[in-house]
Amino acid sequence: MVLIGVLVVIVGFALRVNPLLVVTVAGIVTGLLAHESPYDILSQFGAAFAKDRYMAVFVATLPVIGLLERHGLREQAQRLVSRVRAATTGRILNAYLFIRELAAALGLTSIGGPAQMVRPVVAPMAEGAAEAAYGNLPQPVRDHIRAHAAAVDNVGLFFGEDVFVAVGAVLLMKGVFDQFHIHSTPILMGLWALPTAIAVFVVHSVRLYLLDRRLRRWLSAGPAAASSSPGEGVNA
């Protein structure tokens, strides 16, 4: 009988009911069928919220981002960048790469992210720069630009956070080294990660420069060429 809570989740998702409401009702139903008091059920909800409070904050930001997008955040980002003549897709992504990697190196890993920054701000700005230069973009080009925007966020975070001495990856490496009696400190690890982060920024900046060249060659070839798949045009 306790597994009826799983059935509540399946039915709620099938009917497209609010996921948070479905999960909450499923938890209450499961608790009541397990003969727990309402006080115990509420206590478990509170304990789970306190334990996963950082995830709860992340989930709470998603509705806010959705409301901003609904009220024109993406369109405003595209319109803003289209007024800057020197802006190109590669330059915008390169600027975000620098900010993302520098912030991660300082321990500020939560200021970016695919949901918080890439989808509502960075990708629309990159698309807006391409639209200002070449007009309306075909869907394959938009998908390619969005993929590069997501890659920039991932690369900047991955290689930038290793410079920060208190990040989980550095502390994990410190523990592994200690097990094998290899002397090292988080500060030394961060210093050795710094040349790698700089090299990655340079290499990826070159890739973004080449992205601008590929977009220029592909979109200047006309609508027929621009409507082809990325493998036939942009990645050529």
In this model, does residue 234 exceed pLDDT 50? no
Do residues 29 and 12 lie in contact, with contact meaning Cβ atoms separated by under 8 Å? no
Average pLDDT over residues 213-224: 78
Residue 100's pLDDT is what?
94
- C-alpha span between 194 and 203 (Å, rounded): 14
Do residues 170 and 114 lie in contact, with contact meaning Cβ atoms separated by under 8 Å? no
Q: How many CB atoms lie within 10 A of CB 123?
A: 27
Average pLDDT over residues 66-85: 68
Residue 236's pLDDT is what?
41
Name which residue leads in pLDDT, 159 or 221. 159
Which helix (H) or strand (E) covers residue 8, if one does?
helix 4-14
Contacts of 189 (CB under 8 A, 6+ apart): 162, 165, 170, 173, 174
Tokens encoding 176:
């592994």
| Per-residue CA distances from 149 to 48, 126, 153, 178, 204 (Å) | 34, 8, 7, 38, 12
Which of the four pLDDT bands, split at 50, 70 and 90, describes residue 200? very high
pLDDT digits (tens, 9 = 90+) for 21-39: 888 888 888 888 888 888 8
- C-alpha span between 179 and 115 (Å, rounded): 38
What percent of the chain has a predicted confidence (pLDDT) above 90?
A: 27
Least confident of 109-118, 131-140, 196-205: 109-118
- 165-177: burial string, b at 16+ Cβ within 10 Å, e else: bebeebeebbeee
